[in-house]
Amino acid sequence: MLTGIRIVEFEALGPAPFAAMHLADLGAEVIVIQRKGGETNPAKQGPRLLDRGKRAIALDLKAPTDLDTARALIRSADGLIEGLRPGVMERLGLGPDDTRALNPGLVYGRMTGWGQHGPKARQAGHDLNYLGLSGALFYAGLPGQVPGVPPTLLGDIGAGALYLTVGLLAGLVQARATGRGTVVDAAIVDGAQHMMALLRSLGPQFDTGARGRSLLDGPHWSRCYVCACGGHMAVQCLEPKFYAQFLDTLGLGDDPGFARQFDTAQWPVLTARLAGIFAGQSRDHWAAQFDGSDACVAPVLSPDEAARDPHMVARGHGAGAALPAPRFDGAVSVPGPVPDPGHDGAAILRELREKGWL
């Protein structure tokens, strides 16, 4: 879908390389500028799945010759991704004002937690901090308990990388139409706050401002239950027709205690009753009971278990990294390989010289 688009990525951690991988999965040519001399951060010592489908060149951006190469790459690119603290790219002479002179049509994507300005802009932070300040962490837990720690997918990817991807694509559309580039300020706090609009738009029944009293975190029909084996089942049958199927599957369809689905006074009592029921059988038992039902109940699987689940297997997923998403015309694309560090450096330099960029 993005064949012909070139993105230059400055190596960072977390959401920025994920966004670049996402664009590579969609067909863009992504050249990642890695730090010459290797990476000692333990967060980068894994299988480097986020580099799949990219080309890699190692540069020392404090060396004049390598800095010239970075500038040449920027002149040749449609978009740029950086996930460094505010001010770092400017100190390298590669900030938006510097690159605009090199390439007026460049879409300059900036990925941070706090944003490019504001009292916290230059402070360190992580996923949980951004979610906490934005209000998105408020409902992450049961009544009387401290908020839980959601997987970093919620902030880094949902509120961060995907917002950066959307911003870059919007900027590329404008640049194609006008020849003018733009700066995309993608901040996780902004994305998390923006996502909260869905919940707040549903009215006070969904967003009461008090934990344990909303349709998000209070009901007996919207939580996880422990099973006899120690596993868990995820239940969230909001609509009455799905709630009715849930009760019927458990043999509770005629139980008057469960008749008033939205009676908040009954939620704690009914939660305790359901906890006792689910605790009486294994997770596999309950998964089989609800299989094929519209009761909106699913087992909580580990990543390894999910890779073996029939539905996930039918969708083409397996034990390795997930397939690219979304899909177009039903086709499943195959992600490109992960390059060795600096693998494409010689070829990239040759191409830049041949095309007059360097």
Q: Which of 97, 117, 126, 284 is catalytic?
A: 126
Residue 351: both structure tokens together: 């191409």
309 catalytic per annotation: no
Distance CA 95, CA 253 (A): 63
> 212 phi and psi, to 5 degrees?
85, 0
| 3 state DSSP class of 7 | strand
Rounded to 5°, angle at Cα 142 from 140 and 148: 40
Residue 310: both structure tokens together: 């029939």
The conformation of residue 297, written as its DSSP 8-state character, comes to E
Q: Which of 51, 78, 156, 207 is catalytic?
A: 156
Distance CA 315, CA 311 (A): 6
DSSP 130-152: HHHHHTTTTTSS-TTS------T
217 catalytic per annotation: no
Cβ count within 10 A of residue 293: 14
Please, are residues 71 and 63 in contact by the beta-carbon 8 Å criterion? no
Please, are residues 279 and 227 in contact by the beta-carbon 8 Å criterion? yes
Give Cα 178 to chain centroid, integer Å.
30
The catalytic site residues sit at 126, 156
